[in-house]
Structure formats: structure tokens, C-alpha cells
Amino acid sequence: MQHPAVPDLAHTHTRPIHWVATAAAVAGVVALASALQPGSATAAQPAGTHARSAPAAAVPPGTAGAVFPIRCAPLKAVVARQATGDLDHDGRPETVAVVHCDAGMGTPPDGVYVLTRAQGDKAPRVVATLVDPKDRYTVTDFAVRGGDVSATLLGYSSPDVPNCCPDLKDSAKWQWKNGAFVRSTPAQARSI
């Protein structure tokens, strides 16, 4: 059986100029698509109601510009983890940050700090210390849920235990009660 003769079409053979033209066309489509983004979505409101936006104070504070009470000189402080939530149930979220010195090696101890930003403040400010770096804890399993701050603390049974190898493990949970953060799970360090 013979196949019909197909002419040798120029467009069936790719050359570098074809790839350049294809790349330019794709780049043009991507640029056009990014320039033509839809506007903000708004939900239809029933007659007689007005849409209200959340107050600016409802935005959780970031950690940029915060001055943490941790001594790292000449190193700098590093925010290892952060989470947000309305810890004092006032309608404005706070940020909880796990911070340690940028040591480069070893396991530097963590501090856990609560940050807030009052209206008009340019930078967030630390309003509470939940874990002090002086206590030599490393923080793992860190979370903010339902206004509670929880973490697993890895620590040391004595100053003789090297920083690389914590030998104690403890669960901790803090809640805002009567104007202060209260640890609701007692310190019960277990050997690991």
C-alpha cells in the first residue's frame, strides 16, 4: 500500500527563529494577562445595607521593626516562626513570634514574644515574653489556635548538657486571663 505524497512543508521543520518567535509570543501573552487583572471582588448587598471594610487595626502586626528583648550582639535576632490570633479577644489580632540569635551553628535558645500594634504606631511592640531565652529552651510544635498559644519546649536538665542535645521535653499552653498571659499547663519536663 502506498501512502499519498505529502509535500515538505517549511513549518514542519523547527529552526531557532521559530523558538524565539514562540517564546516572544508566550511572553507577550503572560505580560498582557498580568496587566489585565480583574478588580476587587465585591459581594452583592441586599438593598438598604452598606458594605463595611475591616478596620485597619484588624490587620495583625508583622515582626519587621519590632525590638525584641533578646541579647544577640554582635549577631542579629532572627524570627524563626510566627503566628497570629486574637489572644485577648478584643477584636484585634496579635502576633506571636519565636525568635533566636542567628548563631550559624549549634542550637541557640528561643524566646517567644507577643506583639501588638496600637493605632498610630509605626512599628509593632513586644507586650509579653512567654519564653525567655535565658531559660535555654528550643521551641517546636508552635501554634496559635482559638486565642491559645501552644508549644513544645525542649530543654536541659543541667548546664552541663550540651546545647546540641536537649534532654527534656515539655508541652506548654498560654492563655490571656485577667490582664496577663497565664501558662495553663504546668511545667512538667519529661526526659527524652
Q: In this predicted model, what pLDDT tens digit does every residue of 22-69 receive, in sequence order?
A: 555 555 544 544 445 444 333 344 444 444 444 445 788 888 888 999
**Is the Cβ–Cβ distance between 70 and 97 less than 8 Å?**
no
Q: From CA 100, how far away is CA 78, in angstroms rounded?
A: 5
Q: From CA 114, how far away is CA 135, in angstroms rounded?
A: 17
pLDDT band at 15 (very low <50, low <70, confident <90, very high): low
74 pLDDT above the threshold of 80: yes
Q: Give the whole-number percent of the chain exceeding pLDDT 70.
A: 66
154 pLDDT above the threshold of 60: yes
Neighbours of 189 (CB within 10 A): 17
Q: Which residue has the higher pLDDT, 68 or 7?
A: 68
Average pLDDT score, the chain: 76
Domain coverage including residue 130:
69-191
Q: From CA 115, how far away is CA 123, in angstroms rounded?
A: 10
Tell me, yes or no, whether 115 lies in a domain.
yes
pLDDT of residue 96: 96
Query: Cα separations (Å) of 107 from 100, 143, 172?
Result: 9, 20, 20
**Site of grid cell 517567644:** 112
Mean pLDDT score, 144-168: 90
Q: From CA 6, how far away is CA 40, in angstroms rounded?
A: 53
Tell me, yes or no, whether 18 lies in a domain.
no
Tell me, yes or no, whether 30 lies in a domain.
no
pLDDT band at 162 (very low <50, low <70, confident <90, very high): confident
Tell me, yes or no, whether 56 lies in a domain.
no
Q: Which of 111, 98, 179 is nearest to 144 (CA)?
A: 98
- Strands (E) across 102-147 are located at 111-116, 125-131, 138-145
14 pLDDT above the threshold of 60: no
pLDDT of residue 83: 95
Tell me, yes or no, whether 17 lies in a domain.
no
Q: C-alpha cell of 180?
A: 496577663
109 pLDDT above the threshold of 70: yes
Tell me, yes or no, whether 133 lies in a domain.
yes
pLDDT of residue 73: 86
pLDDT of residue 188: 57
Tell me, yes or no, whether 63 lies in a domain.
no
Q: Residue 96, Cα to own-chain centre: how many angstroms? A: 10
Q: Which of 69, 85, 81, 62 is nearest to 139 (CA)?
A: 81
Contacts of 95 (CB under 8 A, 6+ apart): 60, 61, 62, 63, 82, 83, 84, 114, 115, 116, 124
pLDDT of residue 105: 79
Tell me, yes or no, whether 29 lies in a domain.
no
pLDDT of residue 191: 55
Question: How many separate domains does the chain show?
Answer: 1
pLDDT of residue 78: 93
pLDDT digits (tens, 9 = 90+) for 172-185: 999 999 889 999 87
